[in-house]
Chains A and B, each alone.
Chain A
Amino acid sequence: DAGVTQSPTHLIKTRGQQVTLRCSPKSGHDTVSWYQQALGQGPQFIFQYYEEEERQRGNFPDRFSGHQFPNYSSELNVNALLLGDSALYLCASSSPMIIETQYFGPGTRLLVL
Protein backbone atom coordinates (compact mmCIF):
# COMPACT_ATOMS: atom_id res chain seq x y z
CA ASP A 1 0.00 0.00 0.00
CA ALA A 2 1.66 3.22 -1.15
CA GLY A 3 1.72 5.99 1.35
CA VAL A 4 1.48 9.67 0.56
CA THR A 5 3.64 10.60 -2.40
CA GLN A 6 4.81 14.03 -3.47
CA SER A 7 6.53 15.39 -6.54
CA PRO A 8 8.97 16.77 -7.28
CA THR A 9 11.34 16.07 -4.40
CA HIS A 10 13.37 19.22 -4.98
CA LEU A 11 12.78 22.38 -6.94
CA ILE A 12 14.71 25.59 -7.59
CA LYS A 13 12.90 28.70 -8.79
CA THR A 14 13.64 32.40 -9.02
CA ARG A 15 11.72 35.27 -7.48
CA GLY A 16 8.51 36.12 -9.28
CA GLN A 17 8.08 32.71 -10.84
CA GLN A 18 5.20 30.34 -10.22
CA VAL A 19 5.42 26.77 -8.93
CA THR A 20 3.10 23.76 -8.77
CA LEU A 21 3.63 20.94 -6.30
CA ARG A 22 1.76 17.65 -6.44
CA CYS A 23 0.49 15.17 -3.90
CA SER A 24 -1.13 11.75 -4.10
CA PRO A 25 -2.88 10.70 -0.90
CA LYS A 26 -2.64 7.34 0.78
CA SER A 27 -5.03 4.79 -0.66
CA GLY A 28 -8.51 5.19 0.84
CA HIS A 29 -7.90 8.76 1.97
CA ASP A 30 -10.02 11.61 0.63
CA THR A 31 -8.75 14.64 2.56
CA VAL A 32 -5.50 16.40 1.74
CA SER A 33 -3.75 19.09 3.77
CA TRP A 34 -0.72 21.17 2.83
CA TYR A 35 1.91 22.54 5.18
CA GLN A 36 4.95 24.78 4.87
CA GLN A 37 7.95 23.94 7.03
CA ALA A 38 10.66 26.56 7.12
CA LEU A 39 14.11 25.62 8.37
CA GLY A 40 14.13 25.13 12.13
CA GLN A 41 10.37 25.52 12.45
CA GLY A 42 7.40 23.23 12.76
CA PRO A 43 5.00 22.73 9.85
CA GLN A 44 2.53 25.57 9.30
CA PHE A 45 -0.93 24.74 7.98
CA ILE A 46 -1.65 26.23 4.56
CA PHE A 47 -5.02 24.71 3.64
CA GLN A 48 -7.07 21.54 3.48
CA TYR A 49 -9.05 20.07 0.60
CA TYR A 50 -12.03 17.75 0.78
CA GLU A 51 -14.46 16.85 -1.98
CA GLU A 52 -12.48 19.05 -4.36
CA GLU A 53 -13.06 22.17 -2.28
CA GLU A 54 -10.91 24.15 0.11
CA ARG A 55 -12.36 23.41 3.51
CA GLN A 56 -9.99 25.27 5.79
CA ARG A 57 -7.21 27.77 5.34
CA GLY A 58 -4.33 28.98 7.47
CA ASN A 59 -2.74 32.43 7.47
CA PHE A 60 -1.26 32.36 4.01
CA PRO A 61 -1.75 34.97 1.27
CA ASP A 62 -3.81 34.39 -1.84
CA ARG A 63 -0.59 33.69 -3.75
CA PHE A 64 -0.99 30.21 -2.30
CA SER A 65 -3.77 28.30 -4.00
CA GLY A 66 -4.69 24.69 -4.47
CA HIS A 67 -6.79 22.17 -6.19
CA GLN A 68 -8.09 18.70 -5.53
CA PHE A 69 -8.96 16.31 -8.33
CA PRO A 70 -11.71 13.67 -8.45
CA ASN A 71 -9.11 10.96 -7.64
CA TYR A 72 -8.31 12.92 -4.43
CA SER A 73 -4.83 13.96 -5.56
CA SER A 74 -3.98 17.58 -5.00
CA GLU A 75 -1.84 20.44 -6.23
CA LEU A 76 -0.38 23.40 -4.40
CA ASN A 77 0.31 26.47 -6.52
CA VAL A 78 2.38 29.42 -5.41
CA ASN A 79 2.47 32.56 -7.57
CA ALA A 80 4.93 35.46 -7.54
CA LEU A 81 7.48 33.53 -5.51
CA LEU A 82 9.38 35.34 -2.77
CA LEU A 83 12.69 34.38 -1.18
CA GLY A 84 10.74 33.65 2.00
CA ASP A 85 8.76 30.94 0.27
CA SER A 86 11.84 28.71 0.40
CA ALA A 87 10.81 25.80 2.59
CA LEU A 88 9.82 22.15 2.73
CA TYR A 89 6.23 21.73 1.59
CA LEU A 90 4.46 18.79 3.16
CA CYS A 91 1.29 17.08 2.09
CA ALA A 92 -0.76 15.02 4.52
CA SER A 93 -3.80 12.87 3.88
CA SER A 94 -6.47 11.45 6.15
CA SER A 95 -9.35 9.03 5.84
CA PRO A 96 -13.04 9.72 6.22
CA MET A 97 -13.16 7.31 9.15
CA ILE A 98 -10.23 8.68 11.13
CA ILE A 99 -10.05 12.22 9.88
CA GLU A 100 -7.90 13.50 12.74
CA THR A 101 -5.01 11.18 11.99
CA GLN A 102 -2.89 12.51 9.17
CA TYR A 103 -0.27 10.64 7.18
CA PHE A 104 2.54 12.79 5.85
CA GLY A 105 4.48 12.58 2.63
CA PRO A 106 8.23 13.14 2.28
CA GLY A 107 7.79 16.73 1.16
CA THR A 108 9.02 18.91 -1.67
CA ARG A 109 11.97 21.14 -0.89
CA LEU A 110 11.58 24.47 -2.69
CA LEU A 111 14.45 26.92 -3.00
CA VAL A 112 13.70 30.39 -4.31
CA LEU A 113 16.71 32.37 -5.52
Chain B
Amino acid sequence: AQSVSQHNHHVILSEAASLELGCNYSYGGTVNLFWYVQYPGQHLQLLLKYFSGDPLVKGIKGFEAEFIKSKFSFNLRKPSVQWSDTAEYFCAPRDDKIIFGKGTRLHILP
Protein backbone atom coordinates (compact mmCIF):
# COMPACT_ATOMS: atom_id res chain seq x y z
CA ALA B 1 0.00 0.00 0.00
CA GLN B 2 1.10 3.55 -0.67
CA SER B 3 2.40 5.26 2.44
CA VAL B 4 4.49 8.21 3.54
CA SER B 5 6.53 8.64 6.69
CA GLN B 6 7.77 11.87 8.20
CA HIS B 7 10.53 11.12 10.65
CA ASN B 8 10.03 13.91 13.14
CA HIS B 9 6.75 14.99 14.68
CA HIS B 10 8.16 17.95 16.59
CA VAL B 11 11.38 19.85 15.95
CA ILE B 12 12.69 22.77 17.98
CA LEU B 13 15.58 24.84 16.65
CA SER B 14 17.22 28.16 17.35
CA GLU B 15 17.33 30.86 14.70
CA ALA B 16 20.16 30.43 12.18
CA ALA B 17 20.33 26.67 12.77
CA SER B 18 20.19 24.37 9.76
CA LEU B 19 17.08 22.32 9.15
CA GLU B 20 16.45 18.93 7.60
CA LEU B 21 13.06 17.24 7.78
CA GLY B 22 12.94 13.65 6.64
CA CYS B 23 10.31 12.14 4.35
CA ASN B 24 10.17 8.60 2.97
CA TYR B 25 7.47 7.09 0.79
CA SER B 26 6.65 3.59 -0.33
CA TYR B 27 5.48 4.23 -3.89
CA GLY B 28 7.00 2.60 -6.91
CA GLY B 29 6.98 3.98 -10.42
CA THR B 30 6.52 7.62 -11.30
CA VAL B 31 5.89 9.83 -8.32
CA ASN B 32 5.26 13.52 -7.96
CA LEU B 33 6.50 14.90 -4.65
CA PHE B 34 5.32 17.92 -2.69
CA TRP B 35 6.04 19.72 0.55
CA TYR B 36 3.26 21.86 1.97
CA VAL B 37 3.50 24.28 4.86
CA GLN B 38 0.87 25.63 7.23
CA TYR B 39 1.86 28.77 9.12
CA PRO B 40 -0.08 29.52 12.32
CA GLY B 41 -3.56 30.71 11.45
CA GLN B 42 -3.05 30.34 7.72
CA HIS B 43 -4.07 27.94 4.95
CA LEU B 44 -1.97 25.06 3.73
CA GLN B 45 0.27 26.32 0.96
CA LEU B 46 2.71 24.74 -1.45
CA LEU B 47 6.36 25.06 -0.43
CA LEU B 48 7.95 23.18 -3.32
CA LYS B 49 7.37 20.32 -5.73
CA TYR B 50 9.27 17.77 -7.79
CA PHE B 51 7.95 16.25 -11.00
CA SER B 52 11.06 15.33 -12.98
CA GLY B 53 14.54 16.56 -13.91
CA ASP B 54 17.01 18.02 -11.42
CA PRO B 55 16.45 16.11 -8.17
CA LEU B 56 17.35 19.19 -6.13
CA VAL B 57 14.38 21.53 -6.16
CA LYS B 58 14.10 24.98 -4.69
CA GLY B 59 10.97 26.42 -3.18
CA ILE B 60 9.81 29.56 -1.50
CA LYS B 61 11.53 31.24 1.44
CA GLY B 62 14.90 29.56 0.90
CA PHE B 63 13.68 25.98 1.26
CA GLU B 64 14.94 23.16 -0.92
CA ALA B 65 14.40 19.44 -1.14
CA GLU B 66 16.34 16.58 -2.68
CA PHE B 67 14.70 13.61 -4.36
CA ILE B 68 16.75 10.44 -3.89
CA LYS B 69 15.01 7.74 -5.87
CA SER B 70 17.10 4.86 -4.52
CA LYS B 71 16.15 5.79 -0.97
CA PHE B 72 12.53 6.74 -1.71
CA SER B 73 13.24 9.98 0.10
CA PHE B 74 12.40 13.64 -0.39
CA ASN B 75 13.95 15.49 2.54
CA LEU B 76 13.31 19.17 3.11
CA ARG B 77 16.23 21.45 3.98
CA LYS B 78 17.00 25.04 4.83
CA PRO B 79 20.53 26.22 5.66
CA SER B 80 19.51 28.88 8.19
CA VAL B 81 16.04 29.01 9.71
CA GLN B 82 14.21 32.11 10.87
CA TRP B 83 11.63 32.60 13.59
CA SER B 84 9.03 33.07 10.82
CA ASP B 85 9.60 29.46 9.70
CA THR B 86 7.64 28.27 12.72
CA ALA B 87 4.90 26.17 11.10
CA GLU B 88 3.72 22.66 10.37
CA TYR B 89 5.28 20.96 7.36
CA PHE B 90 3.69 18.14 5.36
CA CYS B 91 5.37 15.84 2.88
CA ALA B 92 2.92 14.66 0.21
CA PRO B 93 3.87 12.18 -2.51
CA ARG B 94 1.43 11.60 -5.34
CA ASP B 95 1.01 8.48 -7.41
CA ASP B 96 -2.56 8.31 -8.68
CA LYS B 97 -3.67 10.05 -5.49
CA ILE B 98 -1.89 12.43 -3.15
CA ILE B 99 -1.15 11.18 0.35
CA PHE B 100 -0.07 13.54 3.12
CA GLY B 101 2.29 12.62 5.89
CA LYS B 102 1.30 13.27 9.50
CA GLY B 103 3.26 16.50 9.53
CA THR B 104 6.21 17.92 11.45
CA ARG B 105 5.66 20.82 13.82
CA LEU B 106 8.67 23.12 13.62
CA HIS B 107 9.23 25.66 16.36
CA ILE B 108 11.98 28.22 15.96
CA LEU B 109 13.28 29.93 19.09
CA PRO B 110 14.13 33.61 18.60
A41 is contacted by which of B32, B44, B46, B102 (Cβ under 8 Å)? B102
Residues of A within 8 A of B109 (CB): none
Residues of A within 8 A of B94 (CB): 100
When the two chains form their complex, are residues B100 and A106 in contact, meaning their CB atoms are under 8 A apart? Answer: no
Q: How many residue pairs, one in A and one in B, have C-beta atoms under 8 Å apart? A: 43
Complex CA gap A91/B43 in Å reads: 10
Q: Quick one: closest B residue to A48, CB to CB?
A: B97
Tally of chain A residues near chain B (CB < 8 A): 21
Q: Quick one: closest A residue to B36, CB to CB?
A: A104
When the two chains form their complex, are residues A43 and B90 in contact, meaning their CB atoms are under 8 A apart? Answer: yes
Residue numbers of A with Cβ under 8 A of B are 3-4, 35, 40-45, 56, 58, 90, 92, 100-107
Tally of chain B residues near chain A (CB < 8 A): 20
When the two chains form their complex, are residues A45 and B45 in contact, meaning their CB atoms are under 8 A apart? Answer: no
Within 8 A of A (CB), among B45-62: 45-46, 49, 51
Q: Quick one: closest A residue to B91, CB to CB?
A: A42
Give the interface SS of chain B, mostly helix, strand, loop or mixed: strand
Residues of B within 8 A of A107 (CB): 43
When the two chains form their complex, are residues B90 and A104 in contact, meaning their CB atoms are under 8 A apart? Answer: no
Give the interface SS of chain A, mostly helix, strand, loop or mixed: loop
When the two chains form their complex, are residues A42 and B43 in contact, meaning their CB atoms are under 8 A apart? Answer: no
Bitwise interface map of B from 60 to 81 toward A, beta carbon under 8 Å scored 1, else 0: 0000000000000000000000
Complex CA gap A64/B67 in Å reads: 35
When the two chains form their complex, are residues A43 and B43 in contact, meaning their CB atoms are under 8 A apart? Answer: no
When the two chains form their complex, are residues A104 and B98 in contact, meaning their CB atoms are under 8 A apart? Answer: no
